């Protein structure tokens, strides 16, 4: 698209140059010749207006189709027992229900977004063996990703949590469509809960380590050649979430209390 626009601009510039040169080349000797020149000037103006209209139309189409790449799904991901199904229940029915380990995705429409088209909340099971293919299946339609962290047990689970977050952020459609990401530091009602600031720091440090080990694995597989596919952050720089292409926001909450989730509901309104 950009190439097409650049080439049209080039045609336009060449044409303008020609017009600027024309009066010197032509010395009119009759009324007929003057008539012809007026006619060809009109044609040129028409051509320029046409090219401009074409360019603007292309620009509008490009902007609109770019936006369409984001679907209407909001994926709720995170490790087992982090509180995803509880969060889903609070968001869609303002109730905390008794939950069991999820074995397949739960999908519910979310309409509380100030008259905008509904979103679909997709609660992805956290079980290590089943979550991968399910999150990949839904990733291409993601408008946003809520990554739920159990703030009470994060210190013990940091590797598993980070491995999953890393996998989600390096899915190709998540990197190309760049849906917004909200990390919900859940279970803030529990005594040992870490703050969102501390959790952000823990995850950044651990992502650095995961990055190194995954790169080593890839190098081993590819006969010693390093590949940058699915890389997170900037090469040779300590990882920070500000270097991720997706907008990543950290908030705190407590899935068993709807009032503590205002930052989640506000974020849903913002991305809808
Ligand atoms: N104290 C406290 N407990 C919570 C909170 N959110 C969820 N829980 C509890 O944590 C347990 C697990 O919650 P689920 O919502 O089933 O967790 P999940 O992330 O869906 O787990 P999987 O389906 O196995 O991936 C349940 O006993 C919930 O009641 C919270 O904010 N605070
Ligand atoms: Mg669940």
Q: What is the pLDDT of residues 22-50, one digit of tens each?
A: 554 444 445 455 555 555 666 788 888 88
Alpha-carbon separation of residue 174 from 20, 75, 83, 198 (angstroms): 49, 11, 23, 25
Cα angle at 163 between 159 and 169, to 5 degrees? 140
| Residue 4 CB contacts under 8 Å (≥ 6 apart), including other chains | 58
Return the CATH number of 70-271, one of 3.40.50.300, 3.40.190.10, 3.90.1170.30, 2.130.10.10: 3.40.50.300
Dist. CA 83 → ligand 1 center (Å): 3
**Model pTM score:** 0.77
Dist. CA 255 → ligand 1 center (Å): 8
Nearest Cα residue to atom 7 of ligand 1: 83
Q: What is the pLDDT of residues 96-107, one digit of tens each?
A: 888 899 899 999
Sorting pLDDT into bands at 50, 70 and 90, what band is 137? very high
Q: Which residues line ligand 1 at a C-beta cut-off of 6 Å?
A: 78, 80-86, 99, 101-102, 125-126, 186-187, 189-190, 254-256
Q: What is the pLDDT of residues 120-133, one digit of tens each?
A: 999 999 999 999 99
Q: Where in the chain are the domains?
A: 2-67, 70-271
Relative to the alpha carbon of 106, which ligand is closest?
2
Nearest Cα residue to atom 27 of ligand 1: 99
Relative to the alpha carbon of 78, which ligand is closest?
1
Atom of ligand 1 nearest to the CA of 257: 31
């Amino acid at each position: 698209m950009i190439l097409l626009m650049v080439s049209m601009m080039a045609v336009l510039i060449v044409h303008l140059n020609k017009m600027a040169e024309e009066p010197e080349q032509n010395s009119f000797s009759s009324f007929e010749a003057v008539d012809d020149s007026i006619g060809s000037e009109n044609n040129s103006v028409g051509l320029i207006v046409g090219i401009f209209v074409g360019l603007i139309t292309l620009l509008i189409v490009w902007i609109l189709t770019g936006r369409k790449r984001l679907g209407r799904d909001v994926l709720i991901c995170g490790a087992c027992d982090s509180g995803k199904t509880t969060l889903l229940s609070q968001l869609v029915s303002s109730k905390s229900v008794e939950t069991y380990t999820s074995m397949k995705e739960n999908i519910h429409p979310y309409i509380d977004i100030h008259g905008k088209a509904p979103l679909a909340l997709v609660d992805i099971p956290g079980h290590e063996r089943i979550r991968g293919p399910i999150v990949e299946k839904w990733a291409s339609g993601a408008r946003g990703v809520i990554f739920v962290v159990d703030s009470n047990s994060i210190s013990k689970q940091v590797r598993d949590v980070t491995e999953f977050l890393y996998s989600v952020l390096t899915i190709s459609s998540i990197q190309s469509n760049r849906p917004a990401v909200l990390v919900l530091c859940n279970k803030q009602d529990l005594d040992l809960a870490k703050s969102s600031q501390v959790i952000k720091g823990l995850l950044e440090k651990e992502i650095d380590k995961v990055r190194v080990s995954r790169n080593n694995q890839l190098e081993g597989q590819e006969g010693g050649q390093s590949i940058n596919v699915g890389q997170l952050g900037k090469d040779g720089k300590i990882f920070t979430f500000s270097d991720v292409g997706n907008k990543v926001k950290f908030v705190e909450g407590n899935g068993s209390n709807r009032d503590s989730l205002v930052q989640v509901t506000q974020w849903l309104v913002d991305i809808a």
